[in-house]
Amino acid sequence: MEKRYVEVAVISDVHLGTYGCHAKELNQYLKSINPRILILNGDIIDIWQLSKNYFPADHFKVIRRILKLMASGTQVYYITGNHDEFLRKFNDLHLGNFRILNQLTLRINNENIWFIHGDVFDASINHAKWLAKLGGKGYDYLIVVNRWINKFLKTIGREKVSISQKVKNRVKKASMHISNFENQVGDFALKNNYQYVVCGHIHEPVIKKLNHNDKTINYLNSGDWVENLTSLEYNLSKWTLYKHQLDNEAHDDIEEDLEYSDFNIQSILNKLAS
C-alpha cells in the first residue's frame, strides 16, 4: 500500500479499552499515512473505563502502529485528556521522538497553533467528574447497542442511524454545551495570541472561524474514533478534515495477526504509577 505523506496528522478521543472504539478502522488509517508529525490529542487510552478483561488485539495493534511510525521517524506528541489524565503526572516526558504533554504550541507557516484536549474548559468535568465518568460508561454502552441496531438495519436494506447524534440534536442543552465550549476555548486562545486552536474532547469534528470581540480565531476539532472516525490533516498550508469510511476492509500485516491475550495494559499503568 502506498502511503500518503502528511505534514501533521491529529487524532483524538480514540478511547482504546472501550467497546465503542473503532480500533480496526483507526489502524487502517494509520497504515495509510506517513506523517511527519502525529499529534494524539487526548483520550487515546480510556483509563477511566479500562478493564483488565477487555483490551483486544485490535486495540493493541493501534499502539504497535504508533510505535512503528515513531521508529520510522515520525515525531509523536501525546497530549493528555480527561480519560487519560493519569498520564498528566508525566508532563514533558521525552522518549526519543515521543513526548507527553498537557498542551502543545507549534509554529507552522508563521502562525501560532495551540493544541489542547479541551476538558479544562468543560464545567461538567471540572465540577462533577463522577457524573462525567458515569456518563462515559452509558455512552459506551449506547454505542454498542447502536452498532447492533445498524447491523439489523443493514440486513433489511435500511440506512444506518446514530442514536447518540439524534439525542444530541434533540437536547437543547447539548448544543449549548458545544457552543459554550467552543467560545471559551476560542476566547482563551485569542487572549494568548494564537491564530489557531486545535481540540478534541466533545466528539464534534469541525473546522471553522470563531468571532469574538471583533477578532477571529481558527477553531479546529479532530472529532473521535468512536462515532465519527475523523482526523485533522495539515498539508501545503491547509487544514482538512479526514473522514474514514466504515465499509473499507482491513488488511493486517502477518506479524500483527498474533494473539495478545497475555497483554495486560493495566499492569503497565500500575507500574508507571508506582
The per-residue pLDDT for range 83-114, each reduced to its tens digit, is 999 999 999 999 999 999 999 999 999 999 99
**H or E element that contains 135:** helix 129-155
CA separation for the pair 107, 22 (Å, rounded): 31
Q: What is the reported pLDDT for 163?
A: 56
The per-residue pLDDT for range 165-218, each reduced to its tens digit, is 655 555 445 566 788 899 899 999 999 999 999 999 999 999 999 987 789 999
Which CATH number does the domain housing residue 173 bear?
3.60.21.10
Give the count of domains, the chain. Answer: 1
C-alpha cell at 62: 493501534
45: DSSP letter? B
CA separation for the pair 83, 85 (Å, rounded): 6
Q: What is the reported pLDDT for 12?
A: 98
pTM: 0.77
Please identify which residue in the block is written with the cell numbers 497553533: 113
- Helix/strand/coil for 270: helix
pLDDT above 70 for 252: no
- Helix/strand/coil for 51: strand
* Alpha helices, DSSP H, located in 156-231: 163-170, 172-191
**Structural domain of residue 121, as residue ranges?**
4-273
> Which is it for strands 98-101 and 104-108: parallel, antiparallel or unpaired?
unpaired
Q: CA gyration radius for the chain? A: 18
The per-residue pLDDT for range 50-70, each reduced to its tens digit, is 766 788 899 999 999 999 999
The per-residue pLDDT for range 117-176, each reduced to its tens digit, is 999 987 655 544 433 444 455 555 566 667 666 666 677 777 776 655 655 555 445 566
The CA-CA-CA angle for residues 207, 174, 172, to 5°, reads 115
Contact (Cβ atoms closer than 8 angstroms) between residue 143 and residue 164: yes
> What are the b/e assignments for 84-109, b being 16+ CB within 10 Å?
bbebeeeeeeeeebbbbbbbbebeee
Q: What is the reported pLDDT for 216?
A: 93
Q: What is the reported pLDDT for 236?
A: 93
